[in-house]
Amino acid sequence: MRKNSIKNTRINGEVQRVLAEIIRGEIKDPRISPWTSVVAVEVAPDLKSCKAWISVLGDEEARKNTLQGLKSAEGFIRRQLARIINLRNTPDITFVVDQSIEYGVNMSHRIDEVIALDEERSEKENEPDSRV
């Protein structure tokens, strides 16, 4: 099975959906933030390993605690995944914190600041000269 085959893409989507359900509804660990979402999943073609990119809304402490909680619940998550999805092999899951949403918000704020500065400069240049 090739990495970008239709079958692999469907498996990635299904694993992502089921992981999100498990994290949202079945894990009772208080360290895991309720604002946790599964952004993307990449299952290896041999179905032995899986990378799951997780986004956590909150500060750095919430991200760290959520990652620790997910790592400690990895066995439970894998067992639930095997129960729900019938795959030849149940992949070992590696959780990675995805900061692309935070990066996008940060860049958006910076762009807004630059636009505001540019508007201020253009207003100052267009003001009539009061020295006359």
This prediction has a pTM of: 0.73
Per-state percent for the chain, helix, strand, coil, to nearest 5: 55, 15, 30
Percent of the residues in the chain that have a pLDDT greater than 90, as a whole number: 49
Is pLDDT of 66 > 80? yes
Give the pLDDT confidence score for residue 127 in this predicted structure: 74
Rounded Cα distance between 70 and 67, Å, is: 5
* pLDDT tens digits, one per residue of 68-115: 999 999 999 999 999 999 888 889 999 999 877 778 888 999 999 999
Is pLDDT of 51 > 80? yes
